[in-house]
Amino acid sequence: PHGDGCGWCPSFCGGAGKCMIGKTAPIFETCRADPDSGLLYRQCRVENVNLAPVIGAVVAGALLGFYFLYSLLRWIRRRHGTFALYLKKKRFDITYAGRKLYLLPPDGASYRQFFLMVMVTVALGVFFGGAVSDRGGPFYFQSEVYLD
């Protein structure tokens, strides 16, 4: 909230606050909760939470989810008989489509070799994609200097 790399700790300087380096927590110091307001690191003001809309949305979402699940299970029972038969049919459909699109190995193939090939491909993609060599972490220091 106070510039890039600067997080506000309200418990310092007699409640006046202090700017520190760190994204989720200060790197070089610890920031306790402010005893007067209860504010934590990177919190500038006390947020008033109105629970009525949150509880209403959660209850409405749960009711809609239960209705959807109930309707799905009734449809499965009407179309396929049992949930186990439905899962067996879906497994067959996915396997058939995967083999037809050459995404899954054929029937007699070794799944250990297939899994190893997929893992090597993903690892090479991550390595050559630059995800491993990104600058950052706890030992990457910015060139700015913050004075107390």
Rounded Cα–Cα distance for residues 66 and 72 (Å): 10
Q: Once rounded to an integer, what is the mean pLDDT over residues 71-95?
A: 94
pLDDT digits (tens, 9 = 90+) for 104-142: 888 888 888 888 999 999 999 888 876 666 565 555 555
pLDDT digits (tens, 9 = 90+) for 85-114: 999 999 999 999 999 998 888 888 888 888
Residues in the chain: 148
pLDDT value for 105: 82
Determine the residue type at 130: G
83-100 and 51-80 helices, crossing angle to 10°: 80
